């Protein structure tokens, strides 16, 4: 194929990529018509430009394999690298032998084990709250918290870059939703000052933002919340294990454990498992426990998953220096990207975006890096706003200097090839 033909195909593909959301507005007597018309994923695969649902032969943490080829894993949430820690694996096998594979029911009925209660106690203590409640995924945790708490006489004031699970949870609740501009305190205060004083108000932020790796300015948010009588909920999926003493999270990082009302975390990141939890005052957690439908109407977290979280938590408590080392390693990597003149936004954590802007260029960057042996996350709308496409890269404690140097060398090479730097 000539370079001209290739450019033509890419340009058609690019306009199809941009037009893909039109399918949702299609009017047809057959509800499946939109599915028949959805050809973009197949086309992207034909062009070798499909970055999603990739099949890994195995993932060892800092290194993964695809079709027998080694890739440096620069797109994982396994920040502390605990998924392959010998103690974690041993504890999972032990619990599996003793308790089997499933809790076989909802927490509400037959699914609660003593193991769940022990984990909840350990988590509450870790984040310095009265009580914690475990869910089967982080996504369900946010659905459960928000659908339970948000009544018709409440307002929710949400950072515009909050995670999709927050947005979906808000839709399940009855409260009125108001966005404020990302990490913008003036925008937050402006929104709050316009609300009636006799309505309930909940401010929701991510502790660490999952795509940009920046941190919510909690000290200022706490002051504003106090002024307007609002409560604060922090989704700390990416802050736990990474920030605060021994990984106790974003509130702890700012010494504000007691000023943040609700903290949620997921087990699919630093805790080497799957699941999620919410922690706060006993009365609030008891309420969510009895009205959080995503927990009541879904099966409980299986015993082997609990074991992985419990052991990860023990490892974190025994090795409080881990997050400090991780942050230093991440800073070195980020500084190197900055030196090369990549746009890394306001990242302050192991999540370091390489902001490109254009969707197609981002997909091409992803593909070329992948072929060079580096896996990153290709992030395009709707995960980010139009024109803000990026490669999400993240550093793990278990990356060696050689892994990071290899990745940086390839990022520089491809960045120059695509005239990004």
Ligand X SMILES: Cc1ncc(COP(=O)(O)O)c(C=O)c1O
Using the minimum distance from each CB to ligand X, give the nearer residue, 120 or 206: 206
Q: Is residue 235 part of the contact set for ligand X (CB under 6 A)? A: yes
Measure Cα distances from 156 to 140, 144, 193, 224, 319 in Å: 18, 15, 13, 15, 37
Among 91, 250, 252, 266, binds ligand X (CB under 6 A): 266
Q: How many helices (H) and strands (E) does the chain have?
A: 16, 14
Using the minimum distance from each CB to ligand X, give the nearer residue, 345 or 415: 345
Measure Cα distances from 144 to 84, 268, 270, 390 in Å: 30, 17, 22, 30
Using the minimum distance from each CB to ligand X, give the nearer residue, 138 or 244: 138
Among 165, 348, 377, 393, binds ligand X (CB under 6 A): 165
CB of 145 to ligand X, least distance (A): 11
Among 78, 147, 268, 349, binds ligand X (CB under 6 A): 268
Q: Is residue 212 part of the contact set for ligand X (CB under 6 A)? A: no
CB of 77 to ligand X, least distance (A): 7
Among 76, 83, 137, 398, binds ligand X (CB under 6 A): 137
Give me the residues paired with residue 180 across strands: 159
Peptide bond into 204 cis (omega under 30): no
Among 13, 139, 333, 375, binds ligand X (CB under 6 A): 139
Using the minimum distance from each CB to ligand X, give the nearer residue, 251 or 364: 251
Q: Is residue 276 part of the contact set for ligand X (CB under 6 A)? A: yes
Do the beta carbons of residue 263 and residue 278 sit within 8 Å?
yes
Distance CA(314)–CA(190), nearest Å, equals 43
Candidates 8-16, 97-105, 116-124, 136-144: pick the segment binding ligand X (CB under 6 A): 136-144
Candidates 11-19, 188-196, 222-230, 232-240: pick the segment binding ligand X (CB under 6 A): 232-240
CB of 166 to ligand X, least distance (A): 7
Q: What dihedral angle (degrees, nearest 10) is formed by the CA atoms of 307, 308, 314, 318?
A: 150
Candidates 10-18, 132-140, 220-228, 330-338: pick the segment binding ligand X (CB under 6 A): 132-140
Q: Which residue in this structure is represented by tokens 């205060």?
A: 189
| 61-95 as b/e: b if 16+ CB within 10 A | bbbbebeeeebbbbbbbbbbbbbebeebbebbeeb
Among candidate residues 370, 368, 334, the one with its CA nearest the CA of residue 353: 334
Report which residue's Cβ sits closest to ligand X.
138
Among 170, 237, 251, 288, binds ligand X (CB under 6 A): 237
Using the minimum distance from each CB to ligand X, give the nearer residue, 91 or 137: 137
Q: By rule CB under 6 A, what count of residues binds ligand X?
A: 14
- C-alpha distance across the termini of the chain, in Å: 28
- Which pair of structure tokens corresponds to residue 391? 């490669």
Candidates 120-128, 235-243, 250-258, 411-419: pick the segment binding ligand X (CB under 6 A): 235-243
In three-state secondary structure terms, 180 is strand
Among 119, 124, 133, 206, binds ligand X (CB under 6 A): 206
Give me the residues paired with residue 205 across strands: 234
Close Cβ partners of 3 (under 8 Å, ≥ 6 residues apart): none
Among candidate residues 143, 103, 142, 104, the one with its CA nearest the CA of residue 119: 103
Q: What dihedral angle (degrees, nearest 10) is formed by the CA atoms of 85, 86, 92, 93?
A: 150
CB of 236 to ligand X, least distance (A): 8
Distance CA(198)–CA(217), nearest Å, equals 26
Using the minimum distance from each CB to ligand X, give the nearer residue, 117 or 164: 164
| Stretch 79-118: interaction string toward ligand X, x if CB under 6 A | ----------------------------------------
Q: Is residue 163 part of the contact set for ligand X (CB under 6 A)? A: yes
Among 91, 210, 270, 273, binds ligand X (CB under 6 A): 210
Residues that bind ligand X (CB under 6 A): 137-139, 142, 163, 165, 206, 210, 235, 237-238, 266, 268, 276
């Amino acid at each position: 194929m000539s370079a001209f033909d290739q450019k033509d195909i890419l340009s058609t593909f690019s306009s199809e990529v941009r037009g893909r959301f039109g399918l949702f507005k299609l009017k047809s007597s057959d509800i499946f018509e939109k599915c028949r018309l959805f050809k973009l994923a197949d086309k992207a695969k034909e062009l070798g430009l499909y970055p999603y649902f990739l099949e890994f032969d195995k993932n060892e943490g800092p290194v993964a394999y695809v079709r027998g080829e080694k890739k440096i894993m620069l797109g994982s949430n396994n920040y502390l690298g605990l998924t392959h820690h010998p103690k974690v694996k041993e504890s999972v096998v032990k619990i599996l032998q003793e308790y089997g594979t499933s809790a076989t029911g909802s927490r509400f009925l037959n699914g609660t084990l003593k193991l769940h209660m022990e984990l909840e106690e350990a988590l509450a203590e870790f984040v310095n709250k009265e009580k914690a409640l475990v869910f089967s995924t982080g996504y369900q945790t946010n659905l459960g918290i928000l659908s339970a708490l948000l009544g018709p006489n409440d307002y929710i004031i949400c950072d515009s870059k909050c995670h999709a699970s927050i947005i979906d949870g808000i839709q399940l609740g009855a409260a009125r939703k108001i966005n404020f501009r990302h990490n913008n305190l003036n925008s937050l205060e402006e929104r709050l000052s316009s609300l009636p004083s006799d309505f309930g108000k909940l401010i929701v932020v991510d502790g660490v933002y999952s795509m940009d790796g920046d941190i919510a300015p909690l000290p200022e948010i706490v002051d504003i919340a106090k002024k307007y009588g609002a409560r604060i909920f922090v989704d700390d999926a990416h802050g736990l294990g990474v920030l605060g003493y021994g990984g106790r999270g974003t509130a702890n990082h700012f010494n504000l454990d007691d000023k943040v009302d609700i903290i949620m975390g997921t087990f699919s990141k630093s805790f080497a498992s799957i699941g999620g939890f919410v922690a706060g005052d006993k009365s609030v957690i008891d309420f969510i426990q009895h009205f959080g439908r995503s927990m009541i109407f879904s099966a409980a977290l299986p015993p082997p998953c609990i074991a992985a979280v419990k052991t990860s938590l023990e490892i974190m408590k025994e090795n409080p220096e881990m997050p400090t080392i991780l942050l230093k390693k991440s800073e070195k990597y980020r500084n190197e990207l900055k030196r090369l003149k990549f746009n890394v936004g306001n990242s302050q954590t192991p999540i370091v975006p390489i902001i490109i802007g254009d969707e197609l260029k981002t997909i091409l960057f992803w593909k070329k890096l992948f072929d060079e042996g580096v896996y990153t996350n290709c992030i395009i709308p709707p995960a980010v706003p139009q024109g803000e496409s990026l490669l999400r890269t993240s550093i793990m404690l278990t990356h060696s200097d050689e892994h990071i140097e290899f990745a940086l060398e390839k990022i520089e090479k491809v960045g120059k090839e695509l005239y990004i730097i």
